[in-house]
Amino acid sequence: MTSHAIQAGILGVGSYTPEKVLANKDIEKLVDTNDEWITTRTGIKERRIAGNDQVASDLGIEAGLAALKDAGINAMDVDLIIVATSTPDMHYPSTACIIQDKLGCKKAGAFDLAAACTGFVYAAVVAEQFIKAGTYKNVLVIGTEVYSRVVDWEDRSTCILFGDGAGAAVFGPVAGDKGFKATTLGSEGSGGDMLTLPCSGSRIPFGETESVNARAVVQMQGREVYKFAVRVMEEGTEEVLEKAGLAKDDIDLVVPHQANIRIIEHYAKKMKLPMEKIVANVDKYGNTSAASVPLALDEAYKQGRIKSGDNLLLLGFGAGLTWGAAVIKWA
């Protein structure tokens, strides 16, 4: 078969969030802030926090199992696992390999992908290419994060934003005109210092210094990231719609990265889209980085907001700087 003969789409979705809820009123006890301040500026009311015995692979396994069940396939049917995460269990083995073993996907290759909050969209595009090429049939893509371990709980500008969670999707061949219609990926490395996790790599190894600038915690230039996000969401949408040959009115549901409700609302206003067409659950989970798009996708699916034949727009943006968009017709 030629690559044009195989169309890739979503076969199943799943998600998982830890039981512990950290509400804004709880954060008031940690830093100088309050519920009104957080809600007004971010739209976040609460976020989930992983248990002391939970790591990224644990969350990812649960989301992966749910996605496999929804797709109606078993572990031995999986050909490849891609895990998008910026909070892996460790540098190596990869979190994907840990998940591959624990899920029992004995025939699957596995690797991690690092594109921060854009990670799931990047990984979905990679999965599509493997399927279209005929290299693999069933690809399990998981976004999983435990950001509670890498935020500075004394820094109110960042600790209020992030939460833990995982989302997953099984990608595989679909029939007819369903599946991916167009994709676009972008990067802007010149802005990389706007959002960093500086310590833990070869530049600043663990234990080398205790200076605050080198600590293994998220550091962000909030205003600059906000400007970047609203710009690339609009540009990415226009580019991917042009590639797909669609107008914005042809999109039934937008599933964006959940970073800040003001970013989502600004996007809706600029694109002249009703909020009813956009998934927004940042109020319940905060920013779960690579997990946010698949988590929002699964929630929308469970709520009955997605039906066969709907055109979905997945949008991601984050550290790198990176961004990505994909139009997918739901199977």
Q: Supply the residues annotated as catalytic.
A: 117, 257, 287
- How would you classify the pairing of strands 80-84 and 139-146? parallel
What are the backbone dihedrals phi and psi of residue 124, each rounded to the nearest 5 degrees, phi first? -65, -40
Verify cis geometry, omega within 30 degrees of 0, for the bond prior to 93: yes
- How far apart, in whole angstroms, are the C-alpha atoms of residue 251 and residue 233? 15
132-165 exposure pattern, b = at least 16 Cβ within 10 A, e = fewer: beeebbbbbbbbbbbbbebbbeeebebbbbbbbb
8-state DSSP, 312 = E
Chain-centroid distance of CA 106 in Å reads 26
Task: Decide if 326 contacts 240 (C-beta within 8 A).
Answer: yes
Residues 6+ apart with CB under 8 A from 50: 18, 20, 58, 59, 146, 148, 149, 164
Assigned token pair, 179:
């599946």
- How would you classify the pairing of strands 109-113 and 80-84? parallel
- How far apart, in whole angstroms, are the C-alpha atoms of residue 139 and residue 170? 6
Verify cis geometry, omega within 30 degrees of 0, for the bond prior to 321: yes
Task: Decide if 35 contacts 24 (C-beta within 8 A).
Answer: yes
Among candidates 281, 179, 183, which has minimal Cα distance to 236? 183
